[in-house]
Structure 1
Amino acid sequence: MGLIWLRHPVLWHSSRVAGGYNYNAMTAEERKLLVARWHNWYTADWDYAQTTVIFFCTAIFVAAVLNKLAWLHGRNLMHVARNRPGFGDKLTAAMRYATARQFYLGLTRWYTPPLAAVVGVCGMSIFILALMFSARPFYWPNEQMGHSPPLATRSGWIAIAIMPFMIAFATKINFIGLVTETSHEKLQVFHRWSALFMYIASLVHTFPFIINNVALGIMESQYAKSPWYWSGIAALIPQTYLILMSWGIFRNQYYETFKKLHFIASGIFMAALFIHVNFRLTSWDYFWATLALYGLAWLTRVVRTLYTTGFGLPSTIESVGPNLVKISIPIQGRFSWAAGQHVFIRVLGLGVHALTSHPFTISSIAEKDKVVELVLRARGGLTQALQQRVAGKASWSSRIVLDGPYGGLHAPLPLERYERVVFLSGGTGTTFTLPIFRDLLPKLTEESVLKRISFVVAVPDADNYAWMGPHLAAATASHGDTVDIRVHFTRSGDADIPSKDDESDIHNANPEGVAYGRPILGDIIREAHASASRVAIVACGPDGFLYDVRNSVAGCELDIADGFGVCRDLFLHTETYSW
């Protein structure tokens, strides 16, 4: 027996046999319109929902092809000698310009996603709005043609078809990311915008019913006797909350609370929406697809976490500088990672914070260190609780569950196949660049293609530099002029200036490796671009730091696209503090 709020008997799909129409009250033109494609209520799921699915699948396929072409072009560069950029180099540079270029809206203090993501979001919006509003009419000219206005019908199917992709963009084990070779955090922008477009489609679905029923004088009676009206409102309220509270001004400031309430509101929304669509045509198929995508991703995470770290690994947590905490987790066997990857951690001994997990980049190397090291800055929530727990102590021990690893560096070529590699780090962004730098150093030999590595880091003062200093000094001691380290201390004042001993620890072979003030990132990137045929830039830092890096690289990509200079291949990889 079906539930009382579902139509009986409960089925997988409802019938496509048209019924309930008074054809005698319609004109010939109205009867023809009623069964025409893009207007027929009984084929609206094929016309609109399947068309939406095809659009998203096509966009994902195109992104995967473009990524594969960039990979093939990079491989081809190893075998083709040329002094100037060729056609393939120029085309690749033009595409990389789009993935690098970024904008800043000063009025809202918002750093936009890269231009390529902006184009993708704009394409998504144009398609969805065109699909909703291109067909006419929006309302039936005759009330005998049905109480579901065409505009409401089509927008409802578009909204339901967006749902599986919106969820798929959000998962950590990300199937779209596997196809497009993109880490899960870089797809968050599409999760947020597809959720917004689903909400817009939901609103367009809702209001024509209200307008139509008010005009017919049946609004109160429909709401009183139909479960579809109250279930629609029950879905729209949490959906409104999810959209409003996901904007950065709320999400970033109250992230701990946001994350918990986000899952609760999502559950209520999905349950109410499941009841609302009431197995009309193929509507529940999109729920099964969503459940399969999310459920398989979640199950994979849980099984992998239990297999690699069980119910937690012993760890040591200590303070390593002003507002800096280091977590050391000895690894025994099953857990492995690559330089530049990150994990989500759950600290079991931290009270209520044990209920949440947060991402941090692994700053150690698997082959060398045999220990997962995480260096994090206390900002609030979990990080602040960890800082308070180790304050005034040599260290503190707790069991930690590791979920991951995720992300990492996805370059068309191994970094040792580039002639010049530049690492740019802002503050704790060094936790991403440092392990990749250390992993690359042994590959810098006289026979290798790689001729020079630069490591530039900007930190407030010597105390913030202390935790990374020994790693840099040890890693670069035997490479002479082929490796240069530049440390920029961005705070002014005598108390922040390191001693001569500190300077010598930064780089014994480079006494001029210390500077004061912010690095001029554009000059560093342009110098590297002018010095070699193949250049890789790896950067991690705050939004403003990466904004300068991205746009400087974008300018150099335009030079390659125009055929200027000796550089034929300029690769950029960036990591952000948060997403």
Structure 2
Amino acid sequence: MTLIWLDHPVLWHSPRIPSGYNSTAMTPEEFALIRTRWHNWYTADWDYARTTVYFFCAGIVLFALVNLLFQLGQRTRAAGVLRKVSLYRKVVAAWRTLGSRQIYVSAVNYYSPPLSAVTIVAALVAFFASLTFAVRPYLWPNMAMGHSPPIATRSGWISIAILPFLLVLATKVNLIGMVTGVSHEKLQVYHRWTAWIMYITSLIHAFPFIVQCIRDGEMATNWSTTSWYWTGVAALVPQTWLVFMSWGPIRNRYYETFKKLHFIASAIFVSALFIHCNFTLTSWDYFWASAALYGFSWFARYGRTLVNGLNSDASFEALPDNMVKVTIPTKLKWRPGQHFFVRFLDLGIHAASSHPFTVASLAGSDPKDNGSGVIEMYARVHGGITTRLRAVAKQGSLKTSRVLLDGPYGGVEANFQVYDRVLLLGGGSGVTFVVPLLLDIIRRSKSGESTCRRVYLVWAVRTSDALSWFNSVLSEAVKGAPEGVSVSVTYYVTDLAALIDDGASTETKSETSTGTDDIIAKHSGRPDLPCIVREFCADPGTVAIATCGPSSFNLDVGTAVSECEFDIVRGKSQCSEIYFHGESYRSVREYPSGTAMLTPNVVGERR
């Protein structure tokens, strides 16, 4: 075993000159086979690793073009009502039918990603399964043809080529997201699934070697005399930990511990895999690419944190219904719906990690335009950092902390100003995502930048106390709407005890509103979200819908939107276009009927 477990001299690439073959021990057909494409060990990196890279790049380019067409359409959209539905819009509506639909499995309380994401993941699985199993033979019929089983060779190269994309999909400053218009948190589903695909191809790579060595009685000798076997196990163990500990229930319950151990296990995995590859052919090229791409994201993220400033201070305020408000004066700019990762430097151990929070205010400096010049964030207390924030907020003296701001990230890809009508739906503190969208539409309407003529916001909360978070803001927004823009707000108070006493009835009871000309209404009970969506999409024109709430809340909204999109495809809708954007967070518990309470596990803080 050589120093640092690498062959010497250490090279960038290993030679491609075939060696060690005994042509006399093979038939002419066997000798010819090992030199053909897809079977040649010395070109396997070109055949399989490059094919994997080309496949990923083709997909990224495709969705980059789709994003380009979408952005051009946003900029060139003609003002007024679009009554004619073109073939292009029907194709878009068909894809959005999948993009807004989810599947809920009640037996395990599982909410699937949007069916559009499921379709993409299915395409990934189908491609890599074909690339792995389409070429035969899987094992050499004659050991003289090589000691590396063909299926192990190809699956190993596929695994290596997946690595750069796997790491990029995990980053905050996400290069794939930049060109496709998809925010980093929505790419996490592809990060997790590419991790599973890479894990499966790694197992397919490992098992044939193990079986072959045990069959030939060479396992003990190979383990003690070469680095290939034990370094492969050293990489496979942390990889197994990574994929299984990333399973949703485990990840969500022990998130802070998971996050720290995830980085440690990832470092061990990549290091062991680097040694295992031992500069075979072009294997290390994929590590250099991974280091460059991940390094760019890392430096960009922390560089932006430095540019954002090191002297920001946050103040904390305890609010009703077990909430905390975080206020940070700043000159930074952000778009409605975006979020920052906040590191609280004066809160002890919590300074070691940053936490994502949606910004509930608008960027700007003129209070008359709803630009407060401060970042306002809201979080429900639920252990960890949120418990610490509330404790600080209740202290008699210290109620501030120095913070570092990383961001902004995310937001809505579409320009809501160019749609005829906008529907905003918030469950619990999900309202922190949709309120800035409402304020931005009103502000731009005053300056003539918006063609939107109707905005309807629905906010469902568990208790009436929660309404105090934004009641005054929404009232002033409704009163300040310019002439020609219809703005209305409806509150739903879903008090759990009252609903159980009433047999979990969905019937609502209106209460008289004052001071807003009856354009702010208040009801008790749960909102009929599908009915609200269908009625809002019934009229001619274009519609934008944004929702943020627990998974069940968004499921109801997305299902209704999907049905309306399908009506456009079938030509049975007067509405010509529907744009849908959904944000979600984890919910604490379920009603007996299966409809989630509008009280998330961590409200206002994003995962």
Query: TM bucket by the smaller chain?
Result: over 0.9
SS in 2 for 1:457: strand
Task: Quote the sequence identity (%).
Answer: 47
Match for residue 423 of structure 2? 422
1:398 aligns with 2:401: yes
Structure 2: which amino acid aligns with 1:321? Answer: P
Deviations 1:439-465 (A, max 9, x none): 111333697632211010001112112
Is residue 2:466 matched to residue 1:464? yes
Q: 2:589 is matched with which residue?
A: none
Report the counterpart of residue 356 of structure 2 in structure 1: 359
Moved over 6 A (4+): none
Letter in 2 for 1:452: R
Other structure's SS at 1:568 match: strand
2:338–2:411 Cα contact (<8 Å) kept: yes
> Which residue is equivalent to 1:573?
581
Are 2:482 and 1:482 equivalent residues in the alignment? no
Q: Which residue of 1 aligns with 2:537?
A: 529
RMSD of aligned alpha carbons: 2.1
Aligned mates of 2:381, 2:92 — CA distance in 1: 40
For 1:70-149, what aligned pairs fall within 5 Å after superposition? 70-75=70-75, 77-78=77-78, 83-149=83-149
Distance 1:469 1:495, change over 3 A: farther
Match of 1:348 in 2: 345
Shift of 1:250: 0.4
Look up the SS of the partner of 2:575 in the other structure: coil
Q: Give the aligned partner of residue 601 of structure 2.
A: none
The Cα of 1:30 is off from its aligned counterpart by 1.1
Structure 1 range deviating more: 143-152 or 68-77: 68-77
Contact 2:544 2:580 in 1 (8 A): yes
* Amino acid corresponding to residue 357 of structure 2 in structure 1: F
Aligned partners of 1:420 and 1:532 also within 8 Å? no
| Residue of structure 2 in register with 1:207 after alignment | 207
Matching residue's letter, 2:333: S
Query: After superposition, what is the alpha-carbon deviation per residue over 1:50-81, rounded to whole angstroms, capped at 9, x for unaligned?
Result: 00001111111111222233344455541697
SS for the counterpart of 2:213 is: helix
Distance 1:40 1:318, change over 3 A: same
Give the TM-score normalised by the residue count of structure 1.
Answer: 0.94
- Give the corresponding residue for 1:38: 38
| CA 495–399 in structure 1, closer or farther in 2 if over 3 Å, else same | farther
Give the secondary-structure state (helix, strand or coil) at the position aligned to 2:405: strand
Deviation at 1:504, TM superposition (A): 4.5
Question: Aligned pair 1:155/2:152, yes or no?
Answer: no
Unaligned runs of 5+ in 2: 365-370, 501-510, 586-605
Paired residues of 1:415 and 1:440 also in contact (CA < 8 A): yes
Residue 451 of structure 2 aligns to a residue whose secondary structure is coil
Measured in 1, the distance between the counterparts of 2:60 and 2:182 equals 11
**What is the 5 A alignment of 1:277-292?**
277-292=277-292
The structure-2 alpha-carbon separation of the partners of 1:25 and 1:436, relative to structure 1 and needing over 3 Å to count, comes to: same
Distance 2:392 2:89 in 1: 53
The C-alpha deviation readout for 1:265-323, integer Å capped at 9, x for no partner, is 0000010000000000000000011111110001011111111122x411111111222
Helix, strand or coil at the partner of 2:158 = helix
* Aligned CA distance change for structure 1 residues 445 and 532 (closer, same or farther; 3 Å): farther
Superposition pairs of residues 60-79 of structure 1, within 5 angstroms? 60-75=60-75, 77-78=77-78
> By how many angstroms is 1:83 displaced?
2.8
- Give CA-to-partner distance per residue, 1:502-552, whole Å, 9 cap, x none: 9747x6222760011111111111111112411110111111111111111
In structure 2, C-alpha distance between the alignment counterparts of 1:446 and 1:136, rounded to whole Å = 66
Answer yes or no: is the 8 Å Cα contact 1:417–1:450 preserved in 2.
yes
User: How many angstroms apart in 2 are the aligned matches of 1:59 and 1:261?
Assistant: 31
Contact 1:348/1:354 (CA < 8 Å) preserved in 2? yes
Give the letter aligned to residue 565 of structure 1.
Answer: S
Q: Secondary structure at the match of 2:17?
A: coil
* Aligned amino acid, residue 363 of structure 2: A
SS in 1 for 2:343: strand
1:379 aligns with 2:388: no
SS at match of 1:513: strand
Partner of 2:295: 295
Q: Which moved more, 1:312-321 or 1:392-401?
A: 392-401
Please report how far the alpha carbon of residue 84 of structure 1 lies from its aligned counterpart in structure 2 after TM superposition: 3.5
Letter in 2 for 1:86: S
Matched residue of 1:70: which SS?
helix
Indicate conservation of the 8 Å contact 1:84/1:563, yes or no.
Answer: no
Q: Give the aligned partner of residue 54 of structure 1.
A: 54
Deviation at 1:193, TM superposition (A): 0.2
| Contact residue 419 and residue 532 of structure 1 kept, 8 A | no
Give the secondary-structure state (helix, strand or coil) at the position aligned to 1:21. coil
Alpha-carbon distance, 1:354 to partner: 1.1
Unaligned segments of structure 1, at least 5 residues: 497-501
SS state of the match for residue 13, structure 1?
A: coil
Q: State whether structure 2 residue 566 is matched by structure 1 residue 558.
A: yes
* SS in structure 2 at match of 1:249: helix
1:325 has 2:324 as partner? yes
Looking at structure 2, the residues matched to 281 and 302 of structure 1 have their Cα atoms a distance apart, in angstroms, of 34
Aligned residue for 1:140, secondary structure, equals: coil
Q: Secondary structure at the match of 1:85?
A: coil
TM-score, normalising length: structure 2: 0.90
CA distance in 1, matches of 2:200, 2:211: 17
Bigger mean CA offset, 18-27 vs 204-213: 18-27
Instruction: Write the distance in 2 (CA, Å) between the matches of 1:444 and 1:308.
Output: 30
- Looking at structure 2, the residues matched to 337 and 80 of structure 1 have their Cα atoms a distance apart, in angstroms, of 28
The alignment partner of 1:20 has SS state of coil
Amino acid at match of 1:323: N
**In the comparison of the two structures, how many residue pairs are matched?**
567
1:485–1:510: 8 Å Cα contact kept in structure 2? no
**Could you say what secondary structure the match of 1:369 adopts?**
coil
Which residue matches 1:499?
A: none
Indicate the residue corresponding to 1:338 in structure 2: 335
Asked whether 1:263 is paired with 2:263, we answer yes
Amino acid at match of 1:371: V
CA spacing shift, 1:271–1:365, aligned 2, 3 Å: same
C-alpha distance 557-246 of structure 1, shift in aligned 2 (>3 A): same
Q: Alpha carbons of 1:35 and 1:492: their partners in 2 closer, same or farther (altered >3 Å)?
A: closer
- Please tell me whether residue 177 in structure 1 is matched to residue 177 in structure 2: yes
